[in-house]
Chain A
Amino acid sequence: MAEPVKERKLEKIRILGDLERGLDEVDKKLARGNTDIEFDFSACPFISVDGLEWLEEFLLRADSLKSTVTFVNVQNPVYKVFKVAHIDSLMRACGAPNQESQGLSC
């Protein structure tokens, strides 16, 4: 007999203030499985190197757990950090296609 399919849950996480380190609560939610995560960056004005590294690692873990992670309401300074960091997974979470196109240089 087939196992009943569990309903996927969408967790909306609003990051309040600077993202300076990992968020344990969110790590736990992801670990529980069957959860998609939406990070709301509307109240996040700054991200540190540790915060950036945690996000990248979090996305890796989510990928292995087949969870979808999306970033919404990313403010300009933080979005610029994602752009300059050249980390594909961060951009994908922001809704970008897999790889940035190689535009012509002139």
Chain B
Amino acid sequence: MTVSSDQELMLTERANHLVRQARLAAAVFTQYSQEKVDKIVRAMTAAAIENAGKMALLAHQETRMGVTEDKILKNLVASEFLYHQIKDKRTVGITREFPDLNMVEVAEPMGVIFALAPVTNPTSTVIFKSICCAKTRNTVIFSAHLMAAESSNFAAKIMYEAALEAGAPKGFITWVDKSSRLRRTSELLMHHPEVDLIFATGGQAMVKAAYSSGKPALGVGPGNTPVYVHKSANVASAAMDIIISKTFDNGTECPSEQTLVIDREISDEIIAEFKRLGCHVCSQEEVQKISALIVDPRNGGINYKLVGQPANLIADQAGLNITTPIKMLLCPLLGELRHHPLAIEKLMPVLGYVIVDSVNEGINKALDINYAGGTGHTAGIFCEDDNVIERYSEAINAGRIIVNSPASIGGLGGVYNHLNTTLSFGCGTGGGNITTDNVGIKNLINFKRVPRRRNYVISFQTTKNIYINPGSIDHLRNLKCQSAFIITSRSASRRGHLAMVTERLPQDCHVDVFADMGPEPDFATLQRVVESMRRSKPDTVIALGGGSVLDAAKIIRLFYDYPDLKISEVAVNFLDFHHRMIEFPKDMKTQLVAIPTTSGTGSEVTPFAVLKDGHRKISLIDECMLPDIAIIDANLTRSLPADITGDTAFDALTHALEALVSTFSSDYTDGLALEALRLIFESLPETLKNPNSIVHRHKLHNAATLAGMAIANASVGVNHALAHALGARFDIPHGRANAAFLLSTIEYNAQIPSKFVSVPCYPLWIADRKYARAAQFIGLKDDLQPGESEEIGRRRLVQKLRQAIYDLAKLANQALSVAELGIPLESYMAAIPELTETAFGDMSIRTNPRYALAPEVAQLFATAYPPRERPSI
């Protein structure tokens, strides 16, 4: 074995030992309560405060950088200020509750953290990271900079002993001993499989190595802080803050000012103030000398030997003849700023400045500095004008933009502002990091979100005023209306309904009529009606007719009231009403009175309107579409032909059945759907037998409205999706198209779904039970035989329901298959892919109790073609 491999083995063993200690401690730490953790954090903070001076002195002696007094302050910020911010924060168990969202966050420690400490802040970084790790129940292995390892490890030892004394797990803090092999040990640890996170604060080489390790890493980026001094600034205060900041620890803090951008109006005043307070403003010759000293001409970087050195030492080494003590060297950066050698990060009391003539120029110059190696880090502004601060913040890419305070101490957080106290400045993607945070405890916790199932609120909406019973059309006599616009069809006019309406409207009411609304009009037709309404300026729209007329009137009113609406913007599909992207107007200006003359659509009480668009139907859905008044007068259906009576009754029947099993059904809609179903089974045969029986017409009319209320709130299902597609493609009336699929879709929905629907308001698939209940509600019975399961009984009831529907359809001469609608087999089969696509995109399908997969939809189309036989039990 060679010497080098012996050494490597030894280093690997050392790394394994450190990680094992940390791993066991991390495991044990998971059991700690918040109280135990807080006790440890308190003890560590007290130890850091007590030893702040000793640690600072050692750091200064070892690194020869910065100012001992400032290092003491940093140690105190990293302990006392940090403690103040985190002491009451919950980091164990439930850390946050979101009652409105029905969710909590629970903390999970990250585990073993490998942490780097930089030469510029060797003790404060260790204090900060140790306390943060304790608070978050993580364990930490420190690797210090070789030039600062003694002081860093001394700080780690103090923190560990205090923690152990307070009950922390053995091995909670460990560190890599100072040796010439420190860097290699660090590399081994970075790649060690038992290290969970690398917390890298230090030089770019180490940060890059951390990111390259393939482990999660919290890194920092390089800084180059521009500070804009706007003409509105308090000049004297700004000058003092800048001196405080730039001289803090002799400029070793990476958020500190690097180049000032000063408005010309105040430039003389602030430069004079800097001079008065003990700064030296360099001539151009001196700037060149300083550049030559502190900038490495080979790579444009700084001379690291001068990091954290006092201004007089730098001046001496640059050959400047300065005999008095000075605080910092101010260098005017003339010429092209983007090429100036001093337009870089200078971690020493050397500060560049430029003078600008406008806010625009000022922000652009600040951007030049910001983007010269400091993106994502820190920027500053001295300004009393909020608009300028906002413009600056919008433009500059920095994780922290410090306003009217020293950038360095301001960036540390907690002293001049309410930023999180940190010694690790996230720089976002601008600096190659994942966060722009002042990195702290929240970055060291795996937050587990525990969302409870949503309480799904379902509302119930219907038309506000519903007038029922035969003769209720008389309500029109009391209608508050000065100008009415009646939308109706030719047949309604022919059957005398239009006259029944006009005769009853108040004498002084101006009336205009559009009596040519055909079945399933397109949008262009509706737009023409809107145009004629604009000429007559009605305050009331009266919709008199079947579903097409009522739906058309809803859309016409919408576009009459809101002419700027676009159909393409309101007819957007959605998955969930509560989350849909479209917004409808809140209030309608024109009153809508809906008077159905058929007993099927239920449109008088629904917020839907269906519109034909080529070979498909589109739906507009919103509460604002609900009519204001519905008049349910069966006298208007007395002259309805038998075929239309049957078609529309089967539309209502489909509504009731689909609303009943819908994923959005509720006790409210179930009651309506079941009663509608019962009324249809009771009154349709009687109506067909005796078409002039107003009693039965009335029941049928009520059934349609009740079913309408049910679908208004529970919506429909796959049957409607199929019917919409078929109707649009082959011009089949809606009720007839619905009936053609009804037996198939009941059978389909009553089977255990191949795929369940994922909606929170439908926690249990119960479609088969609902159909069985419907069967019982219309008086069908089933007696379980001994040994039979309830499921078998349910299946029989579903079949009995299908039989009853079959029998009712035969009585009403309703087609129960596509073939019976007269559609040729070849053209139908050829259209199935298109029909499937249309049906699959139909919103009706979204509330079906079974997730209808595209091949299943195609299969439903295919099996609906052949004429049907009575379902067998």
Contact = CB atoms under 8 A, between A and B. Distances in A.
B30 interface: yes
A49 B26 CA distance: 9
B194 A77 contact: no
B30 A84 contact: yes
B171 interface: yes
Contact of A48 (B28, B30, B194): B28
Interface string A79-98: 01111111000000000000
Interface string B16-44: 00000001111110110000000000000
A48 B28 CA distance: 6
Contacts of B170: 48-50
B28 A49 contact: yes
A86 B23 contact: yes
A65 to B, nearest CB: 24
Contacts of B194: 86
B24 A85 contact: yes
A100 to B, nearest CB: 13
A49 B31 contact: no
B31 A53 contact: no
Nearest to B171: A49
Nearest to A45: B31
Given A49-B28, A77-B30, A84 B169 contact: no
Contacts of B24: 49, 52-53, 85
Interface string A23-66: 00000000000000000000000111110110000000000000
Interface residues of A, number: 16
A90 B169 CA distance: 19
A92 B31 CA distance: 21
B111 interface: yes
A5 to B, nearest CB: 39
Interface in B604-626: none
A86 B28 CA distance: 12
A48 B24 CA distance: 9
A77 B171 CA distance: 19
B169 A48 contact: yes
A82 B169 contact: no
Nearest to B26: A84
Contact of B31 (A46, A50, A83, A86): A46
A47 B31 contact: yes
Instruction: Tell me if A's interface is mostly helix, strand, loop or mixed.
Output: helix
B31 A77 contact: yes
A52 B23 CA distance: 11
B28 A81 contact: yes
B164 to A, nearest CB: 11
B753 to A, nearest CB: 27
A68 to B, nearest CB: 24
A33 to B, nearest CB: 29
Contact of B30 (A50, A53, A80): A80
A102 B236 CA distance: 64
Nearest to A77: B31
B169 A49 contact: yes
Given A85-B23, A86-B23, A86-B194, A47 B30 contact: no
A86 B16 CA distance: 13
Contacts of B27: 52, 80-86
B171 A81 contact: no
A75 to B, nearest CB: 10
A80 B31 CA distance: 8
Interface in B135-180: 169-171
B80 to A, nearest CB: 30
A81 B31 contact: yes
Nearest to A85: B27
Centre residue among A78, A83, A86 by max chain B CB count within 10 A: A86
A84 B25 CA distance: 10
Nearest to A18: B31
A92 to B, nearest CB: 16
A15 B31 CA distance: 17
Interface in B485-541: none
A49 B25 contact: yes
A77 B23 CA distance: 16
Contact of B111 (A48, A49, A81, A84): A84
A50 B686 CA distance: 88
Contacts of A82: 27
A25 B24 CA distance: 24
Contacts of A80: 27, 30-31
Chain B CB within 10 Å — which of A52, A78, A83 has the most? A52
Contacts of A48: 28, 169-170
A83 B30 CA distance: 11
Scoring A47, A77, A81, A84 by chain B CB atoms within 10 A of each residue's CB, the highest score goes to A84
Nearest to A51: B28
Contacts of A50: 170
Interface string B541-577: 0000000000000000000000000000000000000
Contacts of A85: 23-24, 27
Nearest to A48: B28
Interface string B806-817: 000000000000
A71 to B, nearest CB: 15
B686 to A, nearest CB: 62
A52 B28 contact: yes
Nearest to A84: B27
A49 B20 CA distance: 11
Central interface residue in A49, A50, A82, A85, by most chain B CB within 10 Å? A49
A85 B26 CA distance: 7
B736 to A, nearest CB: 50
Contacts of A84: 23, 26-27, 30, 111
Interface string B90-134: 000000000000000000000100000000000000000000000
Contacts of A46: 31
Nearest to B111: A84
A5 B194 CA distance: 44
Interface in B187-210: 194
A49 B29 CA distance: 9
Contacts of A53: 24
B852 to A, nearest CB: 29
A104 B171 CA distance: 31
Contacts of B111: 84
Nearest to B168: A49
Contacts of A83: 27
A36 to B, nearest CB: 26
Contacts of A78: 31
A81 B194 CA distance: 15
A54 B74 CA distance: 41
B445 to A, nearest CB: 15
A86 B26 CA distance: 11
A101 to B, nearest CB: 16
Contacts of B25: 49
A84 to B, nearest CB: 4
Interface in B409-431: none
Contacts of B169: 48-49
A55 to B, nearest CB: 11
B278 to A, nearest CB: 54
A82 B26 CA distance: 11
A82 B194 CA distance: 14
A47 B27 CA distance: 9
Given A49-B170, A77-B30, A85-B24, 14 more contacts: A47-B31, A48-B28, A48-B169, A49-B24, A49-B25, A49-B169, A49-B171, A52-B27, A77-B31, A80-B30, A81-B28, A84-B23, A86-B23, A86-B194
28 contacts: A46-B31, A47-B28, A48-B28, A48-B170, A49-B25, A49-B28, A49-B169, A49-B170, A50-B170, A52-B24, A52-B28, A53-B24, A77-B31, A78-B31, A80-B27, A80-B31, A81-B27, A81-B31, A82-B27, A83-B27, A84-B23, A84-B26, A84-B30, A84-B111, A85-B23, A85-B27, A86-B23, A86-B194
Interface of A: 46-50, 52-53, 77-78, 80-86
Q: Closest 6 A-B residue pairs measured CB to CB?
A: A85-B27, A84-B27, A49-B170, A81-B27, A77-B31, A49-B24
